[in-house]
């Protein structure tokens, strides 16, 4: 494993582990014992960066993922970086599998959230604490002020923003320096590349979630793949539809061609593409399988030249591909 620095001083493995899918959004929750063993194996492989959130769970156990991650990683707490998030809840009245998000970053809610997350994670501090989505009802300066206080109190050491605009990032950073943003980013979702200049100006890291387009870029799924319509968001994602798979043939062909040239896999090319693009990008693919854990970690060994990255970008710009899942809908909080 290789290592990178987010912001000024947060050192993390160059590939992190997104833990959400163990408990949420990718089918019924996985076996806790198996996932505990998987997390231990990740540490043994050199992963030091683990990502969760207070809302990753099920209706029966809304905070299952933080509980799982906290228990599994407790023996390794001093040598890992734990990231979690605050500021949203799900609209449980919705019948959709990907229920809408309701933002809520009132200071008192943040305070309650951080205490609960610390308890579930079994830790006296959180290494990287993200606002999960911007709250239009709470000025970002107010949120940043709470973050500054939590840092002074030692409850968190760094903070970040997820899916925030350049204006929001700049305003937040003025009050309390932002260590990282966590945004969707993959070969199929490149719209946040517009943020690269401001991240470089302010020395902010980019943590890329869904770096394999929810697994599609692993090239492991076909038209005959069936996803659980009750728990699995992929059951309604456009890239996994029959039409989407057909539209994405050129994209998969591109990945297979480059993988053959580099004697690697499509997933590793997808991750290496962003790792070689910017030194401050850290992808956090998720998995429930040890073989995928190994495959993702070894993406750091795949070297692409600047010319190869540019060639891939140009090909992506010009090819037809399907829409890609852009995230759950954010709705208004009527409680304020």
Which member of 3, 26, 47, 56 is catalytic? Answer: 56
Taking the C-alpha atoms of residue 109 and residue 179, their distance in angstroms, rounded to an integer, is: 22
Output the pTM of the full model.
0.96
pLDDT at 143: 98
pLDDT band at residue 335, thresholds of 50, 70 and 90?
low
15, 207, 245, 247 from 253: Cα distances, Å: 25, 27, 12, 11
pLDDT at 97: 87
Distance of CA 294 to the CA centre of its chain: 18
Between 334 and 265, where is the model more confident? 265
pLDDT at 223: 85
181-185, 233-237, 303-307: least confidently modelled range:
233-237
Mean pLDDT of the chain: 95
Mean per-residue pLDDT for 263-275? Answer: 98
Asked about 231 being catalytic, the answer comes back as no
What is the number of alpha carbons within 13 Å of residue 117 lying toward its C-beta? 26
pLDDT band at residue 230, thresholds of 50, 70 and 90?
confident
SS (H, E, C) 237-305: CHHHCHHHHHHCHHHHHHHHHHHHHHCCCHHHHHHHHHHCCCCCEEECCECCCHHHHHHHHHHHHCCCC
Residue 336 pLDDT exceeds 60: no
What percent of the chain clears pLDDT 70, i.e. is strictly above it? 99
């Amino acid at each position: 494993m290789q290592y990178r620095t987010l912001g000024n001083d947060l050192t993390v493995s160059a590939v992190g582990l997104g833990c959400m899918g163990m408990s949420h959004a990718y089918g019924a929750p996985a076996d806790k014992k198996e996932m505990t063993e998987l997390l231990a194996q990740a540490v043994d492989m050199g992963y030091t960066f683990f990502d969760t959130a207070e809302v990753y769970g099920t209706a029966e156990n809304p905070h299952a993922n933080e509980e799982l991650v906290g228990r599994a990683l407790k023996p390794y707490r001093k040598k890992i970086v734990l990231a979690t998030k605050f500021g949203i809840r799900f609209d449980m009245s919705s019948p959709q599998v990907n229920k809408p998000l309701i933002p809520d970053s009132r200071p008192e809610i943040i305070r309650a959230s951080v205490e609960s997350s610390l308890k579930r994670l079994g830790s006296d501090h959180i290494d990287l604490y993200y606002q999960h989505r911007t709250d239009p009802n709470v000025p970002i300066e107010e949120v940043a002020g709470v973050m500054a206080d939590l840092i002074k109190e030692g409850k968190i050491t760094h903070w970040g923003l997820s899916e925030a605009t350049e204006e929001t990032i700049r305003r937040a950073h003025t009050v309390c320096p932002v260590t990282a943003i966590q945004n969707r980013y993959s070969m199929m979702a490149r719209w946040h590349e517009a943020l690269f200049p401001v991240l470089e100006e302010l020395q902010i890291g980019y943590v890329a979630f869904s770096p394999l387009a929810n697994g599609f870029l692993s090239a492991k799924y076909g038209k005959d793949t069936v996803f659980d319509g009750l728990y699995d968001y992929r059951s309604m994602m456009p890239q996994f539809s029959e039409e989407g798979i057909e539209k994405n043939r050129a994209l998969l062909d591109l990945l297979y061609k480059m993988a053959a040239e580099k004697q690697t896999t499509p997933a590793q090319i997808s991750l290496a593409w962003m790792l070689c693009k910017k030194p401050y990008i850290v992808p956090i693919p998720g998995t429930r399988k040890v073989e995928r854990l190994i495959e993702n970690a070894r993406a750091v060994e795949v070297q692409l030249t600047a010319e190869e990255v540019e060639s891939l970008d140009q090909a992506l710009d010009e090819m037809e591909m399907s829409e890609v899942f852009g995230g759950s809908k954010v709705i208004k909080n009527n409680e304020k």
